[in-house]
Amino acid sequence: MEKLKIAGGYPLKGTVKIDGAKNSAVALIPATILADSNVTIEGLPDISDVRILKSLLEEIGGKVSFVAGEMKVDPSNMIAMPLPNGNVKKLRASYYLMGAMLGKFKNAVIGLPGGCHLGPRPIDQHIKGFEALGAEVTNEQGAIYLRAEELKGARIYLDVVSVGATINIMLAAVKAKGRTIIENAAKEPEIIDVATLLTNMGAKIKGAGTDVIRIDGVEELHGCRHTIIPDRIEAGTFMIMAAATGEGIVIDNVIPLHLESLTAKLREIGVPIDIGDDQIFVGKSDRLKAVDIKTLVYPGFPTDLQQPFTSLLTRAEGSAIVTDTIYSARFKHIDELRRMNANIKVEGRSAIINGPYKLQGARVKASDLRAGAALVIAGLMAEGITEVTGVEHIDRGYSHLVEKLNDLGATIWREELTKEELEQIKSS
């Protein structure tokens, strides 16, 4: 196991190219199960979530290659192999195997998913959708069993706006008989990307990206080639890094529309921003003024950028309140920022930051993916050396982070954990 070491205080400058979106990738890959011939996806990020999903497709009989961001999937020999344990526990998005395998085989056994621990993350809306389509769903010893004689289109109202439930129901419904209508659907760009792939495979989907999605089931889905959208959360993380320690950074390969809520907040805090067609320039800012943020479903401020933004706010003058309305416990990075000299209070679902603080390098632990990003940002801003453990969380969602940051002028490297550190992690 490794840790990251960061020597703080080096200003960042240059251009960084953003990879394909993790939260699209993890749905596009399971979606290939539904096809009857080869599907190729271009521009996938080189992250552990993608590699684990590749192994899962292989476990069920898929022939899969993944070279230079391009994944080719031959689904012709796939079977409804039960996956109650193992790799499915290593990521959140293994839940998409439920919708895809139910849609294809009318039968699936998938262990309850892993992913970041951010408070309770139920999947009741996914199950409500599968049941509405005609599946019998049971939970037996931590695995979800799904069976259906036949899937039939239905009208499904989501009680909670959920990215995962919206996509999972789409996956199960594209081959169901008749029309499915998802009401109160999530509107994230990743949902449009998955709908685009499915449409290229022959599915009939209208309304993805709005809160009502209509799906008319088809008998067969065929192979195709698809290019993934850029990762708005990776892009946002680099925009926040640029605001924190940058001297002018171009964020390349982005869809600026997907980043409007962050762009608005960065401008409000005092960061100069120029928007191009597929690039965003983030300029240097000597003084930042505190702003409040509240996470919301898309197009609101994304919860996945809440933790990185909190690190940036330690540099801002004044009092800022950060409220996460999506997850009840997405503040595990705060204790670690406190070790670095930030005096942040957490009250319920809000963190209160009275900056500015001069961060000091420290040994800190990433408890989840975006906590890791937040700590890397803090390390870049801090005086001295910061050591971040829990790198496996960061590797779930950031492709070549160390290389990209070093290219921008940061001093960051990976080191093997010492025996003592390994023992400490095991005992904690």
Ligand X SMILES: C=C(OP(=O)(O)O)C(=O)O
Ligand Y SMILES: CC(=O)N[C@H]1[C@@H](OP(=O)(O)OP(=O)(O)OC[C@H]2O[C@@H](n3ccc(=O)[nH]c3=O)[C@H](O)[C@@H]2O)O[C@H](CO)[C@@H](O)[C@@H]1O
Determine which residue in the list 53, 98, 154, 165 makes contact with ligand Y, applying CB under 6 A. Answer: 165
Residue 334 annotated as lining a ligand binding site: no
Determine which residue in the list 115, 189, 202, 372 makes contact with ligand X, applying CB under 6 A. Answer: 115
Rule CB under 6 A: say whether 304 interacts with ligand Y: yes
Rule CB under 6 A: say whether 395 interacts with ligand X: no
State the binding partner of 148 from ligand X, ligand Y, none, CB within 5 to 8 A by kind: none
Binding residues with ligand Y: total (CB under 6 A): 21
Determine which residue in the list 104, 126, 175, 265 makes contact with ligand Y, applying CB under 6 A. Answer: 126
Decide: 267 and 281 in contact? Cβ < 8 Å: no
The residue length of the chain stands at: 428
Compute φ and ψ for 17, nearest 5 degrees: -100, 130
Q: Coil, strand or helix: which one is 286?
A: coil
C-alpha span between 342 and 325 (Å, rounded):
23
State the binding partner of 369 from ligand Y, ligand X, none, CB within 5 to 8 A by kind: ligand X
Quote the least distance from Cβ 80 to ligand Y, whole Å: 23
Residue 75 annotated as lining a ligand binding site: no
Q: What does 358-417 look like in DSSP terms, one character per residue?
A: --B--EEE--SHHHHHHHHHHHHHSBSEEEEE-HHHHTTT-TTHHHHHHHTT-EEEEEEP
Instruction: Name the segment binding ligand Y (CB under 6 A); options: 50-58, 124-132, 274-282, 371-379.
Output: 124-132
What residue spans of 252-305 are helical by DSSP H? 260-269
Question: Half-sphere exposure of 33 toward its Cβ, with a 13 Å CA cutoff?
Answer: 36
Residue 23 annotated as lining a ligand binding site: yes
State the binding partner of 162 from ligand X, ligand Y, none, CB within 5 to 8 A by kind: ligand Y
C-alpha span between 404 and 60 (Å, rounded):
34
Q: What does 97-143 look like in DSSP terms, one character per residue?
A: HHHHHHHHHSEEEEEPP----SS----HHHHHHHHHTT-EEEEETTE
Retrieve residue 243's tokens: 């605001």
Quote the least distance from Cβ 124 to ligand Y, whole Å: 5
Instruction: Name the segment binding ligand X (CB under 6 A); options: 87-95, 138-146, 219-227, 406-414.
Output: 87-95
Run of H or E residues at 239: helix 232-245
Rule CB under 6 A: say whether 116 interacts with ligand X: yes
Q: Coil, strand or helix: which one is 323?
A: strand
Residue with Cβ nearer ligand X (74 or 368): 368
C-alpha span between 63 and 76 (Å, rounded):
8
State the binding partner of 122 from ligand X, ligand Y, none, CB within 5 to 8 A by kind: ligand Y
Each residue of 155-189: b (16+ CB within 10 Å) or e?
ebebeebbbbbbbbbbbbbbbbeeebbbebbbbbb
- Catalytic residue (choose from 39, 44, 101, 116): 116
Residue with Cβ nearer ligand Y (53 or 244): 53
Say if residue 149 is exposed, middle or buried (CB neighbours under 10 Å; 0-12, 13-18, 19+).
exposed
List the end-to-end C-alpha distance of the chain, in Å, as a whole number.
15
State the binding partner of 397 from ligand X, ligand Y, none, CB within 5 to 8 A by kind: ligand X
Rule CB under 6 A: say whether 87 interacts with ligand Y: no
Catalytic annotation present for 224: no
Residue with Cβ nearer ligand Y (279 or 325): 325
C-alpha span between 116 and 23 (Å, rounded):
13
Quote the least distance from Cβ 101 to ligand Y, whole Å: 17
Instruction: Name the segment binding ligand X (CB under 6 A); options: 90-98, 145-153, 185-193, 220-228.
Output: 90-98
Residue with Cβ nearer ligand Y (74 or 368): 368
Applying CB under 6 A, the residues found at the interface with ligand X are 22, 91-93, 115-116, 304, 369-370, 397
Applying CB under 6 A, the residues found at the interface with ligand Y are 23, 26, 92-93, 120-126, 160, 162-165, 186, 303-304, 326-327
Active site amino acids = 116
| Residue ranges of the binding site | 22-23, 92, 121-125, 304, 326
